[in-house]
Amino acid sequence: MSAAFVLSWPGSRVLLGWWRELAHRRPQQLRFSHLLIHRVEALVRVRKFHPLDRWQRALLHLAGTRVPCSGELLGSLTDLQMDPQLLGQFVRELTGSGLLYQNGAGLWQITPAGCHALQTGAMSTIIEERRMFTFVDNSALGRPPHFLPLSGEHPRSGRRPRSGEHLPPEQRQSQRAGALCSEDCPFEIASLEACLRQTLEWKKRFRFPTDVEALLLPQFHAGAASVGSIDWGANWRRVLLDVVEQRPFVFIQTASRLLGFAVHPEDWTLGSEPLLTLADGWEEALPDLAAEPSPPMWRQAWQSWAQPRSLPSTEVEACQLERVDHRLLVHAPPRLIDRLRAARSDAVKQEAWLLAGEGRTRTAAQIELHPL
């Protein structure tokens, strides 16, 4: 987080508006956080699966019953009475895709990949393409970056998008406002490499693309200008790009999911749909969202809320605080409640909210007054 980037926090009316706007999603808790996001673009090796057409499937099945065989494979398939050029094209496709091969003894054999293609009805191909991966920077928590499956953050084209081009319109302004220098917040390549080594279950939980098999980084070339240097002319597609931005989010926790919404910092409006949806285990990616503020933090938040309302400090200090669900129960002296009632405070109508916590995340709570 850049020291020059000043964090701002929403007020009571904004929090109330968010709670009402998100009420249909049945939130149990509401939190606000300024996340440092790395958008990392890298060249990767991807395995794609394509369904076999009926001719490929039939020919592969027939070839599998006639190999291993010696000599010219096409010669063993002449009884099919197909055009030799067309038949040859099919054989070359199956061979080029690694489904058939001729071993060192000159025998044609169906490969394990060919057997798998027959079983699944699909064959795989390997390509190289640039992909975008989004990570949340957890260095302030003493943790490495963690992959986040933010909606709209994974353009599949190899062309470098212009700033904000791949983002929905409601996020582009916040991206321009929160852009930071990546030199202040370096990204460790090991974090992306660690994702590739994760289990399939982990990748499905955090929706990390399971078709990505390897990260392709610039290669050292001994024949370049100096020994061990990088030939950038041949490696420019392998250069890893990192765009860092500070982005505000509203998070709600439901009975089964964590939902994150992009926020317009200019007017505190929310995106219409969640930018992030995570089920069980989301605490691994965003551990501070699972941490409840301490009683002193809630006390400080209550005092900060009361101070501009000119409430007597002795009466404010006399209040007893209790956290229940999304509420902060304030057991207050009757005279303090009378003062708020006379001032027509939102707290009397249970429409006042406050934030408590430290660091990048704050927990919101609705003030609920009760007489001592």
Domain annotation covers residue 263 = yes
Domain annotation covers residue 289 = no
Total domains in the chain come to 3
Q: Which amino acid appears at position 220 of this protein?
A: F
Domain annotation covers residue 5 = no
Domain annotation covers residue 253 = yes
Query: Do 151 and 41 share a domain, yes or no?
Result: yes
Query: Do 165 and 310 share a domain, yes or no?
Result: no
Residue 125 backbone zone (phi > 0: left; psi -120 to 50: alpha; other: beta): beta
Where among 120, 146, 167 does a domain terminate? 120
Identify the domain containing residue 67 by its residue range: 53-120
Render pLDDT for 277-334 as a digit per residue (tens, 0 to 9): 999 899 999 999 999 999 999 999 999 999 999 999 999 999 999 999 999 999 999 9
Per-residue pLDDT in tens (0 to 9) along the chain, 372 residues? 444 457 899 999 999 999 999 999 999 999 999 999 999 999 999 988 878 877 777 777 776 665 555 555 555 555 556 666 776 777 777 777 777 777 666 666 778 887 888 888 887 788 899 999 999 999 999 999 999 999 865 433 333 333 333 334 433 333 344 555 556 678 999 999 999 999 999 999 999 999 999 999 987 665 555 445 556 666 788 889 999 999 999 999 999 899 999 998 889 999 889 999 999 899 999 999 999 999 999 999 999 999 999 999 999 999 999 999 999 999 999 999 999 999 999 999 999 999 999 999 999 999 999 999
Query: Do 335 and 361 share a domain, yes or no?
Result: yes
Render pLDDT for 253-280 as a digit per residue (tens, 0 to 9): 999 899 999 998 889 999 889 999 999 8
Query: Do 271 and 331 share a domain, yes or no?
Result: no
Query: Do 16 and 86 share a domain, yes or no?
Result: no
For residues 55 and 90, the answer to whether their CB atoms sit within 8 Å is yes
For residues 218 and 236, the answer to whether their CB atoms sit within 8 Å is no
Please, is 122 exposed, middle or buried when counting C-beta atoms within 10 Å of its C-beta (0-12, 13-18, 19+)?
A: middle
Tell me the C-alpha distance between 178 and 199, whole Å.
33
Query: Do 37 and 145 share a domain, yes or no?
Result: yes
Query: Do 182 and 231 share a domain, yes or no?
Result: yes
CATH of the domain at 111: 1.10.10.10
For residues 240 and 234, the answer to whether their CB atoms sit within 8 Å is no
Domain annotation covers residue 6 = no
Reported pTM: 0.77
